[in-house]
């Protein structure tokens, strides 16, 4: 004799847990299902980018205005780094398909920049009579400029749309 147990009788006609989760996903707003970058850990990442954007931009502007003729290349690189950080901050905060592409471009440019300037500042120190944000791999900023683009890439990859 095969009778339905109390559990089977009780669950008859009810959707399974998997079906209920799928229904919830189907009814969720589109932005919640496409890998939003500015939520959870992304908020911390955006905050770090915003702080670095502010400090690098202020440093670059001040250096260029106050004594730009002394070392224009490092000072211009500091300002460029600040602008890249501003773009990355907004792109990571806003998310969405277009902003994700902008974020990928910004963090990739940032990674290449900090590596290129870091290597150049070590082997051709005469090119950098004064420090920039990216010189010596961001040593003046606690190496955050070296680590941050790779954390950004990790986060963009982790939050990519399914």
- pLDDT in the model for residue 128: 83
> What is the C-alpha separation between 19 and 14, in angstroms, rounded?
9
- pLDDT in the model for residue 127: 84
pLDDT 10s digits, 24-46:
655 544 444 445 777 789 899 99
Mean pLDDT for the chain? 84
pLDDT 10s digits, 109-125:
999 999 999 999 999 88
Q: Which of 102, 106, 105, 110 is nearest to 133 (CA)?
A: 110
């Amino acid at each position: 004799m095969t009778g339905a147990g109390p559990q089977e009788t009780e669950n008859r006609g009810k959707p399974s847990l998997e079906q209920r989760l799928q229904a919830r996903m189907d009814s969720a707003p589109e932005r919640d299902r496409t890998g939003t970058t500015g939520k959870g850990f992304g908020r911390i990442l955006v905050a770090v980018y915003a702080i670095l954007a502010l400090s690098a931009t202020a440093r670059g502007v001040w250096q260029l205005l106050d004594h730009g003729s002394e070392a224009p290349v490092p000072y211009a690189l500091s300002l460029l780094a600040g602008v890249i950080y501003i773009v990355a901050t907004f792109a990571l905060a806003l998310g969405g398909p277009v902003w994700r592409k902008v974020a990928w471009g910004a963090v990739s440019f940032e990674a290449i920049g900090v590596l290129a300037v870091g290597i150049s500042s070590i082997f051709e120190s005469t090119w950098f009579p004064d420090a920039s944000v990216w010189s010596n791999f961001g040593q003046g900023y606690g190496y955050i400029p070296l680590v941050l683009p790779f954390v950004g890439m990790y986060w963009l990859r982790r939050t990519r749309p399914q």
